[in-house]
Amino acid sequence: MKKGGLEDKDKAADNPFAALAAFRDALPAGPTPSATLTTSTPASKAAAKGPAKAVVRREKKGRGGKEVTLVEQLELSPASLETWLKDLKGALGCGGVIEGDVIVLQGDLRTRLEPLLKARGVRQVKVSG
């Protein structure tokens, strides 16, 4: 029987992966799903614990009329602040910088920022004015 201009036996002969099916049984078994979960669980618990408190506020004064959102009182190391800034900028699709120990994000992002901070392990997020 012809199908698409080729006979069925010609299709099987032209498939370069048909010969590899015989080698599938010779492959070693992969890791069990339970072993994968137990090795990643301690790392995820350590990553889930974040700063105890964050204060999120909007500021416009002294910035040429532009609104920014400030994330204060995280009490993180400078390297951790850089990591948080990069992750927040990527998640929110905005620009931002670090000024001292404060993360400054462009735009009014207070409503979108609170769930992101809680997901990163911040236990108390205070959003103000």
| Rounded Cα gap, residues 79 and 85, in angstroms | 10
Task: Give the pLDDT score at 8.
Answer: 55
Under the banding of pLDDT at 50, 70 and 90, the label for residue 63 is confident
Q: Cβ atoms within 10 A of the Cβ of 9, count?
A: 8
Domain with CATH 3.30.780.10 in the chain: 50-128
Task: Give the pLDDT score at 10.
Answer: 58
| Rounded Cα gap, residues 103 and 115, in angstroms | 16
- Full-model pTM: 0.61
**Domain 50-128 carries which CATH code?**
3.30.780.10
